[in-house]
Amino acid sequence: MKNVISKLLLGSALLFASHVFAQDNTEAKFVPDANANPVNMAENNGIKATYTLGTIDRYKAFAVSFQNTNNKPAIMVVYWKIILTGKGLFYTGIPLKLKPGQTLDLTNNKNPNRKLAFVIKTGTDMERYKMKMRTLLITPDTLASN
């Protein structure tokens, strides 16, 4: 009897392990709401950050996008974070490099480590999420002097 129970436990553990390893590691996809329009979240030195409401799985969520509205021949480096009012730091983003006129959003994000979509915490209004940005202008002159 002891041998049968041991085999059942071992078989269950192997079945569970194979199920875990077989799962797809892809991230859940953000789906924008049907009538969602981008809402301004922050602006700094010609960098405009907006968010769009939607869902990730069945959870309320938002996705951020960044646009460089400058027409100067320079690259803007953007340091950004999202603050949840009353709670503190919610997320610190990977610094972005945006060329003049360039937009970065979920459709053209080539860095799998760069997170741009977030689940809204249960019981929290979107108005409590604020973005803070710092920008650094890199011009051809700046590059030549280094």
Q: Is residue 14 part of a domain?
A: no
Residue 145: CB atoms within 10 Å:
7
Asked if the structure places residue 10 within a domain, the reply is no
Counting the structural domains of the chain, the total is 1
Cβ atoms within 10 Å, residue 107:
9
pLDDT single digits (tens) 60-83: 999 999 999 988 888 999 999 999
Tell me if 79 is assigned to some domain.
yes
Domain that holds residue 49: 30-145
The CATH number of the domain where 110 resides is what?
Answer: 2.60.40
* Burial of 61 per CB tally in 10 Å (0-12, 13-18, 19+): buried
Residue 20 pLDDT greater than 70, yes or no:
no
Low-confidence winner among 33-37, 86-90, 109-113, 125-129 (lowest mean pLDDT): 109-113
